[in-house]
Structure 1
């Protein structure tokens, strides 16, 4: 299975691995998901980066040749936040397009930069949660081109066990469908190994991906956050287990998660699949393993170091004590260890799956 997944990845992407810089610009959230470390009712210092701080991260990502900037935050659908983000998206596009015009192209600039002049500067990806269709449309018109909205589980019954009654599985799925209709390059994903999840649920997650037909998949293991309702429940059941049992569970969860990577690649073919940072909470080489089992994207965190510890959606998150340059350099070395090449040429690198809308 892993060999077939690697062969499929190589057929579509060769040994190239795409990089998308993540900026966790705010941990303010109105949601109360039972598993999340920045849920509304968790005690954590709340922050929101300024526009200039976000732009500084964008300039860093561009200077490193990442090509795409992912802006991620807790969910806050207020008019003030939406207007702020519209301004930020426009500013990132303007500033990085100006940088592209002022400086020569990257030495290894890919063909898509020549074929699509609009793909100059950074592509802007957003992960801001559930919003009205009109807001998604406004973000697209402002210059964002990608949107990540994880479904977390395709089982509506399990979804209700992981979220308060005010959270709706159907509403979240409708948002994914609206994002596709509007024209975004859409990503989604699930947690693997979350309490109450069955193997049948995981199989149905894969079938859900096949039905939805997204352009990008993000798969991450469930990592305990002890201050959350779900984390406390998990600790009641597993907290007294021996070190040997805990180690066996860790190894089993890593295997369970990377099997999902392999099966997603085999079933979906030419989509982008991200090796998520959470894998490193299970194994220091977890992301390298995922890159050998179907993944072709890494997402280095370039949030300012002073804020990283405040965006701990799960415990033992890696890279909290690194700055953006260290994170990027470390990731480049580790991609090489996986026998791959991190592509830092400034290209947007859409997956072959995504068909760019025609422009009249």
Structure 2
């Protein structure tokens, strides 16, 4: 049974050690019932901090010339993917700054295929590489990616506009999420 607002406020206001311990115990029981006790290992590779966007709040935005840019080569990514697979990680997330040039799209497609081959198709691959075309998403999924993570900082169109230059439209972001 889900707690209502008042019950949540009461739980967050607990002060006594015994009350807090009872709350932790109950939370553990609920977690165990709905999620279980198994731990799932998931890897994360920050492939690159090169980005074509210029979001005002972002440390890796295109016009930030104070950041040292990097790019991890394919051999290193495959080495890390192999390690994750050997350690029984269930999935690997590959994220980077946003790019949509053909060579990048092709590179990611090949990288996903190679990781799938390397792991006998057993490791899930999540990509987080910014807004892309529908065709690009399709190619990457056909190559073997199983999830795509696209962040959206706010669902308020006016706030979104204040965080991004005019060329980054809220509507396009929503369309990419759909």
TM-score, structure 2 as length reference? 0.81
- 1:227 maps to none
Pair 1:12–1:121, CA change in 2 (3 A): same
Question: 1:7 Cα shift?
Answer: 5.6
Matches within 5 A, 1:133-172: 133-172=134-173
Q: Secondary structure at the match of 1:144?
A: coil
Give distance in 2, aligned partners of 1:16 and 1:154.
Answer: 33
2:105 to 82, 95, 99: 82
Q: Flag the 1:96–1:159 CA change in 2: closer, same or farther, 3 A.
A: same
- Summarize the Cα distance change of 1:30–1:5 in structure 2 as closer, same or farther, 3 Å threshold: farther
1:184-333 matches, within 5 Å, as: none
Deviations 1:222-267 (A, max 9, x none): xxxxxxxxxxxxxxxxxxxxxxxxxxxxxxxxxxxxxxxxxxxxxx
| Counterpart-to-counterpart distance in 1, 2:97 and 2:158 | 23
**Aligned mate of 1:32, from 49, 54, 65:** 54
Structure 1, unpaired ranges of 5+: 98-119, 178-360
Pick the structure with greater CA Rg.
Answer: 2
Alpha-carbon distance, 1:51 to partner: 1.1
After superposition, residues 48-59 of structure 1 pair within 5 angstroms as: 48-59=71-82
Structure 2 counterpart of 1:46, from 63, 69, 72? 69
1:69 paired residue number: 92
> For residues 152 and 6 of structure 1, do their structure 2 counterparts lie closer, same or farther at Cα, with a shift above 3 Å needed?
farther
Distance in 2 between the 1:5 and 1:152 partners?
Answer: 29
- Cα 1:149–1:6 change in 2 (3 A) is farther
* Equivalent-residue separation in structure 2 for 1:83 and 1:166 (angstroms): 24
Partner of 1:18: 40
Please say if 1:132 is aligned against 2:155.
Answer: no
Q: Where does the alignment leave 5 or more consecutive residues of structure 2 unmatched?
A: 1-7, 12-22
Distance 1:159 1:143, change over 3 A: same
Q: Which has the higher contact order (CA 8 A, sep 6+)?
A: 1
TM-aligned CA distance change 1:173 to 1:7, over 3 Å: farther
User: For the residues of structure 2 that align with 1:87 and 1:124, how far apart are their CA atoms?
Assistant: 13
Please report how far the alpha carbon of residue 135 of structure 1 lies from its aligned counterpart in structure 2 after TM superposition: 0.7
Q: CA deviation at 1:48?
A: 1.6
Instruction: Please state how far the C-alpha of 1:174 moved relative to its aligned partner.
Output: 0.8
Q: Does 1:92 align with 2:93?
A: no
Paired residue secondary structure (1:72): strand
**RMSD between aligned residues:** 1.8
Secondary structure, in 3 states, of the residue corresponding to 1:16? coil
**Whole-Å separation in 1 of the counterparts to 2:173 and 2:28:** 31
Which residue does 1:284 correspond to in 2? none
Name the SS of the counterpart of 1:55 in structure 2.
helix
